[in-house]
Amino acid sequence: MRKRAESPSSASLKQRVRRGTIGSVAGVRRVRFEVRVEGIVQGVGFRPFVYALAKRLNLGGRIANDSAGVVIEIEGAPDDVVRFLSALEQDPPPLASIERVTRREVHVVGSATLAIVQSETTPERSARPP
């Protein structure tokens, strides 16, 4: 059974993203957030899901697995970042089970595409078989 992460309302999320440090690249307003997703998010198609979602919304950044789950840095237009964060929590891949999502604002760096980076190799993994 999929456990939904606690998250702010869509309106609250929009306000938080718009209030954040806004950078601009080529005159376009942008924001960037580091998002940590914990739960069953490894080995279930989560990184390809995030990549496809970011590509569809024209967002950039990076994604990697680590011992606690998945870490995403996502950057783009504020409204598109809001859409991304909402979809990430509301419509994850069928085999994923999100237990917690945390996010913090980081500096805009101008990423145009999302890179899937090599995962950390540590003995403690948070993925659990279904």
CA dihedral of residues 16, 14, 67, 129 (deg, nearest 10): 150
Question: pLDDT at position 4, please?
Answer: 45
Question: pLDDT at position 17, please?
Answer: 58
Between 9 and 37, the higher pLDDT residue: 37
Return the structure tokens found at 85: 């964060």
Question: Looking at the predicted structure, is the pLDDT value of residue 125 above 50?
Answer: no
CATH number of 10-116: 3.30.70.100
Q: How many CB atoms lie within 10 A of CB 77?
A: 17
> With bands split at pLDDT 50, 70 and 90, how would you rate the model's confidence at 119?
confident
User: Do residues 60 and 54 lie in contact, with contact meaning Cβ atoms separated by under 8 Å?
Assistant: yes
Question: pLDDT at position 22, please?
Answer: 53
3 state DSSP class of 123: coil
Question: Looking at the predicted structure, is the pLDDT value of residue 114 above 60?
Answer: yes
Q: How many CB atoms lie within 10 A of CB 18?
A: 14
For residue 91, give the DSSP letter: S
Between 87 and 10, the higher pLDDT residue: 87
Write out pLDDT tens, residues 38-57. 999 999 999 999 999 999 99
Prediction pTM value = 0.74
Question: Looking at the predicted structure, is the pLDDT value of residue 36 above 80?
Answer: yes
